């Protein structure tokens, strides 16, 4: 999480240092958190303009998560799916990026439909940065009309 905070604050060197530490510590000790760390690495590589490395990290994150039946610790699954779509797009795989963002959007909507309290559901959809970005990219990238969340 510290790596993600540093990345969002623009401290790329600090984020890099924390990611490398986390990758070393979590690979065996906490595999559930490993995909989220890889997603942060992918986001860092995108910010550094290295689309190929970003895609490699994002693909590894997806593969690790899928090997654990789609699990990803610390609520990082939405972030992982978003970064994967962004890495695909940055790598020139526009069709795959559209498919990935559509799947990410559908996953968020599926989760939202399970939240019984309307206010909590709205906060989930409108106040979580990766969820907001997923819906924004879905509107931009998809050639279909995109309904408003839960609309």
pLDDT tens, 111-129? Answer: 999 999 999 999 999 999 9
Give, to the nearest 10 degrees, the angle between helix 77-90 and helix 34-47.
40
Q: Could you give the 3-state DSSP secondary structure of residue 128?
A: coil
Q: What residues have CB less than 8 Å from 96, skipping those under 6 apart?
A: 88
What is the structure's pLDDT at 151?
52
Q: How many other β-carbons are positioned within 10 Å of the β-carbon of residue 131?
A: 22
Contact between 54 and 42 under an 8 Å Cβ cutoff? The reply is yes
- For 74-106, the pLDDT digits (tens) are 578 999 999 999 999 999 999 999 999 999 999
Q: What is the pTM of this model?
A: 0.83
Please state which of the four CATH numbers 1.20.1740, 1.10.10, 1.25.40, 2.40.10 is assigned to the domain occupying 2-141.
1.25.40
- pLDDT of residue 42 exceeding 60, the answer is yes
Average pLDDT over residues 128-138: 95
Torsion region of 75: left, alpha or beta (phi above 0 gives left; psi -120 to 50 gives alpha): left
What is the structure's pLDDT at 150?
57
Of 61, 34, 35, 45, residue with least CA distance to 7: 45
Tokens representing 79? 């972030």
């Amino acid at each position: 999480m510290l790596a993600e905070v540093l990345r969002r604050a623009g401290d790329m060197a600090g984020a890099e240092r924390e990611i490398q530490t986390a990758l070393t510590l979590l690979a065996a000790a906490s595999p559930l958190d490993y995909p989220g760390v890889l997603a942060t690495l992918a986001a860092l590589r995108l910010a550094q303009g290295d689309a190929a490395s970003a895609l490699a990290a994002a693909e590894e994150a997806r593969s690790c998560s899928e090997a654990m039946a789609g699990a990803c610790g610390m609520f990082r699954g939405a972030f992982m799916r978003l970064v994967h779509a962004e890495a695909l797009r940055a790598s020139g795989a526009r069709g795959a990026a559209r498919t990935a963002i559509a799947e990410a959007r559908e996953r968020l909507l599926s989760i939202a439909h399970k939240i019984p309290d309307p206010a909590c559901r709205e906060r989930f959809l409108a106040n979580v940065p990766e969820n907001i970005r997923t819906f924004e990219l879905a509107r931009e990238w998809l050639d279909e009309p995109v309904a408003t969340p839960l609309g």
